Amino acid sequence: MNFNLTADQLMIKETVSEFARRRILPNRMIWDESQIFPVDVFREMGQIGLMGMLVPEEYGGAGLGYIEYKIALEEISRVCGSVGLSMAAHNSLCTGHILQFGTEEQKKKYLPNLASAEWIGAWGLTEANTGSDALRMQCVAEKEGEYWVINGTKNFITHGTSGNVAVVLVRTGDLLDSHGITTFVVERSTPGFSGGKKENKLGMRCSETSEMVFDNCRVHESQILGEVGEGFIQAMKVLDGGRISIGAMSLGIAQGAYDTALSYSKERKQFGQAISSFQAIAFKLADMAVAIEISDLLLLKACELKNVGKSCTLASAMAKYESSEVAVKVSTEAVQILGGYGYTKDFPAEKYYRDSKLCTIGEGTSEIQKLVIARELVR
């Protein structure tokens, strides 16, 4: 097995790293503190292929695979987890759902604008009282001739207000029926569709998170993805890929925190020597490096399975679970290594620390990942 990156993959890594240092690094704390969603930066990311990485070239995308996608997400998140989160949600959820289940007409209509980031995408599953328990969703659609009328609210939606197009899962059948949920593509200009409350978050503060509100929103039946009643099953398949993206984002955050801690430990001197020479610090760095390597290998396996079309439910859940927990662990240790400076905004350790916690919550909590893993193991 060859673990070396190809020449093309190395070029992607270097290109994305340079872009992140040039366009994101100087502004990340300004965006974070002001909760600015930098749409212009995402447009630029679209121009260099980062917002449609998995989209085939015929639809205006980069036509790349999951390993390249993982590499790019890591490099973005290594500098700013918030930008990585928005990139992941746009690529894997909204764009990915249309790519997997859209008709040819729907793909031609939406994918080019999403791949270029001319349109920002949102994906709506979660509601106030139905996070992990998606089958109890209260957002419903009722059929009226050729139209469906949607009513309800989606919560904690990335790009819920700024998104130009949203893939939305709503109940069209009985409560708790896995075949009672349908997926619709809803454009921002559709009457009755609006953004609601914007969340004031602990971390990931420049990635917009808000409600999506549907008030007698009439959507034509041509906007259904797949068939009526297939929404929940579609969502589970989309989340397999989404978990790889959150894992890659988590890995990038962990790497960024580790870079910060390692650099600081070599420069900071106490008792006449660099603190990296003390066993207490050196052992922390060793544990951090090993945990990052484990996450990387789990993600590579999931990416490879996804690329060749094999089931990756178990592998993606394992990768997401481990990588997200490692992001929290490594960023916590980074703050500890920096000591008092780690608690200030003069150093990036505190931002990695704040951003990392979302990794264990978004797109399936760590507890849900363990349920998925256990279910797959005992099949």
Which residues on adjacent β-strands are paired with residue 360? none
Radius of gyration of the chain (CA): 21
Q: Are 41 and 50 in contact (CB under 8 A)?
A: no
Exposure pattern of 270-298 as b/e (b: 16+ CB <10 Å)? eeeeebbeeeebeebbeebeebbeebbeb
Q: Which of 199, 363, 367, 376 is catalytic?
A: 363
Q: Examine the residue annotation and report whether 363 is marked as an active-site residue of this protein.
A: yes
And the tokens for 299? 């993600």
Q: Are 347 and 260 in contact (CB under 8 A)?
A: yes
DSSP string of 27-84, one letter each residue: GHHHHHHHT---HHHHHHHHHTTTTSTTS-GGGTS----HHHHHHHHHHHHHH-HHHH
Encoded amino acid at 296, one letter: D
Encoded amino acid at 207, one letter: S
In sign, the C-alpha dihedral spanning 71, 98, 176, 358 is: positive
Q: Please tell me the distance from the alpha carbon of residue 235 to that of residue 109, in angstroms, as a whole number.
A: 21
In sign, the C-alpha dihedral spanning 364, 44, 74, 112 is: positive
Encoded amino acid at 12, one letter: I
Catalytic positions are 363
